[in-house]
Amino acid sequence: MPTVHATIIARGGGSTFHRKNTCRVLGTPIIAYAIQTCQQAGFIDHVFVWSEDEEIRSIARSLGAHALERPHSMVHYYSGFATQEEWAAQRGRQIEVIAGGPGDVNVAFNCNNFLLRPETLAAMHCQAREDEAVGGVIAVAAVEPGLCLKTRDGSLFPFWNDLSVPRAEHPPLYRRTGVAVTFRERFRNGRMALAPFVVSREEAFDLQHAEELPLAEFYLRKRLGLLDSDRPAAGEGC
Amino acid sequence: MRVTASIIVLERDARDGVRWDARMGGMRLLEHAVARLKGLPLVDELAVLTDCDALCDALGNTLACAGVPVRRLCPTCTTERFDYLTCEESRIRQQLLALEQAGLAGDVHCFGSWRLPLLSTRSWERMYHALLEDRIAARIVPLTTEDPNLYTPLGGDVASGRLFGVWAHPGRDRQEAPQLYRPAEACVAHLGRIRYPQPLTKGVEIAMTEAVTVRTAEDMPLAHFLWARQQAGRACHDSQDGGAGVP
């Protein structure tokens, strides 16, 4: 049976806002949701959490995941002290000590996408297994048209945005999430394309800013049947 | 200087599944949007502009009693959606005609939408100040940031299994991509500068929670949840300083 490893790379300081990965939504840290989704998907043998932060590693251990110590020189994307390949090699050495070798199937799980359901992850694995022409699958979600970008003088220029065309008739646009299931052997054989696996906008939720925490709380409350339409919801946060 | 404001309600907006009279927290969505703009002290006159018969006949009187008149939009002003990024003279002329016919001509105009019931008075105020502090901007719209990791399926169908990077590139980190934004359906316009050729539109970033746009029935629970949180936050603030909160 092929072995399946899930890897969650989590920065202690938070890449977009402070302590993002240990921020609590409905009382549970975001990193915990990511770990539990991988564990509950039912096809993953080992869940590894790679972090330089002891609090994150402690949460991982408490949930039965393997906590890998991440060197401080391998935390910042553009620090210049180590390349992404060196990062992967470092993780690979640590994983080999615990699991005896790399996984045949790898699940890369970005904490930001902690609302992805375990059954969706399992379905991604099924699709990836069946489609041998690709290296794996990546979760994507449809994006509404109606965007713009800023020009040099700060004025707005429409992008994928033409009100004379009905929204439903705009060419489709998708956002890739940070969750992918890949097959190591296929990558080694040059099949590196990732097929898209469409998920709902809710499951593709990508936590980037602290102000989005109420949205995350709403989606979780809805999923758990905790929405109370009559009374104001209590605040949550870090 | 005369500052006017309007909430635009078009019959065609109901095609998405939610109408202006859908209730949230005991008030209609339209009434939420009206309350936010009414709370802006710099607005000299506010009206609801609509082509909906139901609004003109029924709620119109209610809103008029609250000091907000409902005025009918002429058919020529409703042939196109109100687009606040457009530079097409015909569309801009249409918007200005709507204001003139409604008696809302002035120097600055706030275009509001019932589909943005959570856009706060404070954000309206920020947009107004941003417009007047910029020497050349003709319009200010509220913006939220959008994840730039965007692709379109080759062949137009995601089932093809192949994606083409629209605002992304293989091997490049998404944080390298220039930021994209999503403008919300609201605008503060300088009615003098908007008549120039190629009027500039700029943006003011607002909180994601304020930019929730109610289009379909699925958006209502989220809007209600966030509205309830705003109310809870305001109740906390009011009890702390004993003052009246600003919507």
The first and second tokens of residue A167, run together, are 């929204």
Domain enclosing residue A105, as ranges: 4-139+176-224
Q: Pick from A160, A163, A172: which is nearest to B153 by CB? A: A172
Asked if A224 has any chain B CB less than 8 Å from its own CB, the reply is no
Amino acid at B44: D
Asked if B58 has any chain A CB less than 8 Å from its own CB, the reply is no
The model's pLDDT over A115-124, given as tens digits with 9 standing for 90+, comes to: 999 999 999 9
**Residue B239: band (very low, low, confident or very high) from pLDDT cuts 50, 70, 90:** low
The verdict on residue A161 lying in a domain is no
pLDDT for the residue numbered A123: 97
The model's pLDDT over B120-177, given as tens digits with 9 standing for 90+, comes to: 999 999 999 999 999 999 999 999 999 988 999 998 889 888 899 999 887 788 778 8
Beta strands B150-153 and A4-9: pairing type?
Answer: unpaired
Contact assignment for A148 to B145 by CB distance below 8 Å:
no
Query: For residue B134, is it left (φ>0), alpha (ψ between -120 and 50) or beta?
Result: beta
pLDDT for the residue numbered A229: 54
* B243/A81: higher pLDDT: A81
Amino acid at A225: G
Would you give the DSSP letter of residue B189?
A: E
The verdict on residue A31 lying in a domain is yes
Q: Which of B107-116, B161-170, B183-192 has the lowest mean pLDDT?
A: B161-170
Domain spans, chain B: 3-144+181-241
* A162/A79: higher pLDDT: A162
Amino acid at B25: G
* B215/B65: higher pLDDT: B215
Contact assignment for B81 to A163 by CB distance below 8 Å:
yes
Q: What secondary structure does DSSP assign to A14-60, as a single string?
A: -SSSTTGGG-EETTEEHHHHHHHHHHHTS--SEEEEEES-HHHHHHH
CA separation for the pair B116, B120 (Å, rounded): 9
The total number of structural domains in chain A stands at 1
The verdict on residue A48 lying in a domain is yes
The verdict on residue A132 lying in a domain is yes
**Residue A227: band (very low, low, confident or very high) from pLDDT cuts 50, 70, 90:** confident
The model's pLDDT over B11-54, given as tens digits with 9 standing for 90+, comes to: 888 888 899 989 999 899 999 999 999 999 999 999 999 998 88
Q: What secondary structure does DSSP assign to A53-68, as a single string?
A: -HHHHHHHHHTTPEEE
pLDDT for the residue numbered A237: 44
Chain B residues near residue A174 by CB distance under 8 angstroms = 150-153, 158, 163
pLDDT for the residue numbered B236: 61
The model's pLDDT over B47-69, given as tens digits with 9 standing for 90+, comes to: 999 998 888 876 667 776 677 89
CA distance A212 to chain B (A): 7
Asked if B103 has any chain A CB less than 8 Å from its own CB, the reply is no
Contact assignment for A176 to B156 by CB distance below 8 Å:
no
CA separation for the pair B56, B111 (Å, rounded): 19
CA separation for the pair B37, B235 (Å, rounded): 20
Would you give the DSSP letter of residue B142?
A: E
For residue A78, is pLDDT > 80? no
Element (H, E) at A222: helix A213-224
CA distance A214 to chain B (A): 7
pLDDT for the residue numbered A234: 41
Asked if B107 has any chain A CB less than 8 Å from its own CB, the reply is no
For residue B244, is pLDDT > 70? no
Contact assignment for A196 to B163 by CB distance below 8 Å:
yes
**A38-53: average pLDDT:** 97
Chain A residues near residue B152 by CB distance under 8 angstroms = 171-174
Cβ proximity of B115 and B213 under 8 Å: yes
- Specify the CATH number for the domain of residue A107: 3.90.550.10
Asked if B144 has any chain A CB less than 8 Å from its own CB, the reply is no
For residue A238, is pLDDT > 90? no
Cβ proximity of B30 and B37 under 8 Å: no
**A7-29: average pLDDT:** 90
The runs of H, that is alpha helices, within A51-171 are 54-62, 84-99, 118-130
Beta bridge partners of B9: B50
pLDDT for the residue numbered B64: 67
Q: Pick from A158, A206, A232: which is nearest to B85 by CB? A: A158
* B3-144+181-241 classified as CATH 3.40.640.10: no
Q: Pick from B201, B209, B225: which is nearest to A227 by CB? A: B225
CA separation for the pair A163, B151 (Å, rounded): 21
pLDDT for the residue numbered B237: 58
Contact assignment for A221 to B225 by CB distance below 8 Å:
yes
For residue B191, is pLDDT > 80? yes
pLDDT for the residue numbered A235: 39
pLDDT for the residue numbered B174: 78
Chain A residues near residue B183 by CB distance under 8 angstroms = 146, 148, 156
3-state DSSP assignment of residue B109: strand
The model's pLDDT over A139-163, given as tens digits with 9 standing for 90+, comes to: 999 999 999 999 999 999 999 999 8
Query: For residue B68, is it left (φ>0), alpha (ψ between -120 and 50) or beta?
Result: beta
Contacts A–B by Cβ distance under 8 A = 132
ipTM of the complex: 0.87
Start-to-end C-alpha separation, chain A = 41
Query: For residue B217, is it left (φ>0), alpha (ψ between -120 and 50) or beta?
Result: alpha
pLDDT for the residue numbered B235: 66
* B241/B13: higher pLDDT: B13
How many alpha carbons fall within 13 Å on the CB side of residue A212? 18
Chain B residues near residue A147 by CB distance under 8 angstroms = 146, 180-182
The verdict on residue A80 lying in a domain is yes
**A171-195: average pLDDT:** 93
Q: Which of B109-113, B175-179, B217-221 has the lowest mean pLDDT?
A: B175-179
CA separation for the pair A148, B182 (Å, rounded): 6
pLDDT for the residue numbered B60: 67
**B191-195: average pLDDT:** 96
For residue B241, is pLDDT > 50? no
Beta strands A105-109 and B70-72: pairing type?
Answer: unpaired
Residues 6+ apart with CB under 8 A from A198: A139, A140, A141, A142, A174, B158
Per residue in B31-65, is it b (16+ CB within 10 Å) or e — as a string?
bbbbebbbbbeebebbbbbbbbeebbeebbeebee
Contact assignment for A174 to B83 by CB distance below 8 Å:
no
